[in-house]
Amino acid sequence: FTNTLVPQLLLEKWQQIKDKPLPSDVTPGEGDLADFTKDPLHAASDDVVVYWLVVTNTSKVNLDAVTVTDDIPTGTPPLEYVADSARVVGAPDGMAADSVSLTYKNPEDPAEGVAGITWNVGALDAGASKTVAFEAKVPTVAEPITWTNVGKATYKDNPEEPTPSNKVKVDA
């Protein structure tokens, strides 16, 4: 006996270098994600990486208070969050702004940079998906580095056991 009414989320993470076509050895996404990939990307200093996270309710029950969180990839040096880039894809500007909150590296001094993003995507009907996005700038690096990034999704009745996304990597 399988209980088909067990709530379940799927969180998929995609990425691309902004305004650059995908290299021929990288597998593109499908549909709206045609320019995005889950494969590792190679970036240069000052490139901007666009991250898309697609949260899907794969169960047969509606879920309330769905949130997606993502930390800005860290390293030495870390990627830099692009101001005002966090959004709910396809949402009216006002709704998208109300749905996003930022966590700062130093709450006493936001100028030190953004550490993470939380999107309150709200209710997600059975089988439905919502997409959130943000951008991060690649800093100048002296030696090769890899940044790895994973997002997380939760819902009202299960806030303590987040669903992780797949890992994506950017090398510079």
pLDDT in tens, 48-88: 999 999 999 999 999 999 999 999 988 889 999 999 899 88
Least confident residue range of 11-25, 27-41, 85-99, 143-157 = 85-99
Q: Cis peptide before 107, with omega less than 30 degrees from 0?
A: no
Which one has a higher pLDDT value, 27 or 78? 78
Least confident residue range of 25-34, 65-74, 105-114, 140-149 = 25-34
The whole-number pLDDT of residue 6 equals: 82
Which one has a higher pLDDT value, 77 or 21? 77
Three-class secondary structure assignment of the chain: CCCCCCCCEEEEEEEEECCCCCCCCCCCCCHHHCCCECCCEECCCCCEEEEEEEEEECCCCCEEEEEEEEECCCCCCCCEECCCCCEECCCCHHHHHHCEEEEECCCCCHHHCEEEEEEEEEEECCCCEEEEEEEEECCCCCCCCEEEECEEEECCCCCCCCEECCCEEEEC
**pLDDT band, very low/low/confident/very high, at 1 (cuts 50, 70, 90):** very low
Which one has a higher pLDDT value, 152 or 114? 152
Least confident residue range of 5-9, 82-86, 116-120 = 5-9
Alpha-carbon distances, residue 85 vs 13, 118, 161 (angstroms): 16, 13, 27
**pLDDT band, very low/low/confident/very high, at 97 (cuts 50, 70, 90):** low
Is pLDDT of 4 > 70? no
Is pLDDT of 149 > 90? yes
